[in-house]
């Protein structure tokens, strides 16, 4: 963190202790020796981001975003009370957000379908650690293959990496009847992911 921005205090922005990810934010802040802050702890002054303390304003240099990208700045995005007014304007000039808003697109299942080709095109080499095979269903051949072999694939929203996949082999009759209609109406909104067996590990007991 000090190599990224040595002249300020690093901080992890969290929605607060009521958020289910708060413990992870706390652990991350402790491991990286960062301040754990909420939106109300910060303020933007003259293009810079500052932490409000009893000793005055302390500059924040690198910021790790633990909140949703759409709620970090109530002036320009969603005014839900979790963000910092003016943060996006400060990020355009002086403040560096390590996981900038919009970076979550790389977690989208549809993006995973193109990672192998992107690695070769951008890096000149294949992925060192291949991922679980994923195919975007915007292609007609991919849709036909997914419906022909449902036991081997899970269906996922193409642009939402948080929602769990739907195993086609375990789908109810009503869900299975709805799949062709959903794929025909908006096939680009879905991706298929191959089944991945759960890994096991031997445990030694005293």
Q: What does the pLDDT look like over 61-78, one tens digit per residue?
A: 889 998 888 888 888 887
Sign of the four-CA dihedral 159, 163, 167, 171: negative
Determine the structural domain holding residue 85 and report its residue range. Answer: 9-101
Based on the domain organization, do 188 and 168 belong to the same domain?
A: yes
- pLDDT at position 52, please? 94
Check whether 158 has a pLDDT greater than 60: yes
Same domain assignment for residues 145 and 83? no
**77 and 146 in a common domain:** no
Minimum mean pLDDT range among 25-39, 51-65, 148-162? 148-162
pLDDT one-digit tens code per residue, 98-122: 888 877 777 788 888 888 888 899 8
> Do residues 77 and 150 share a domain?
no
The predicted pLDDT at position 201 comes to 56
pLDDT averaged over the chain?
80
Whether 31 and 71 map to the same domain: the answer is: yes
Structural domain count of the chain: 2
159 and 75, same structural domain? no
Here the tokens at position 10 are 């690093």
């Amino acid at each position: 963190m000090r190599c990224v921005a040595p002249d300020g205090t690093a901080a992890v922005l969290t929605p607060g202790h009521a958020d289910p990810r708060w413990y992870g934010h706390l652990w991350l802040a402790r491991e990286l020796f960062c301040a754990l802050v909420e939106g109300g702890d910060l303020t933007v002054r003259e293009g810079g981001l500052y932490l409000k303390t009893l000793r005055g304003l302390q500059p924040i240099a690198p910021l790790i975003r633990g909140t949703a990208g759409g709620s970090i700045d109530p002036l320009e995005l969603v005014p839900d009370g979790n963000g910092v007014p003016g943060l996006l304007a400060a990020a355009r000039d002086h403040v560096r957000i390590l996981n900038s808003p919009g970076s979550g697109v790389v977690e989208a299942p549809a993006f995973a379908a193109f990672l192998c080709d992107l690695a070769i095109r951008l890096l000149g080499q294949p992925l060192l650690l291949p991922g679980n095979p994923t195919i975007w269903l915007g292609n007609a051949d991919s849709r036909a293959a997914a419906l022909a072999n449902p036991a081997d694939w899970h269906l996922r929203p193409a642009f939402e990496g948080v929602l769990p996949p739907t195993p086609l082999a375990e789908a109810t009759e009503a869900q299975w009847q709805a799949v062709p209609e959903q794929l025909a109406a908006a096939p680009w909104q879905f991706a298929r992911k191959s089944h991945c067996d759960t890994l096991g590990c031997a445990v030694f007991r005293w």
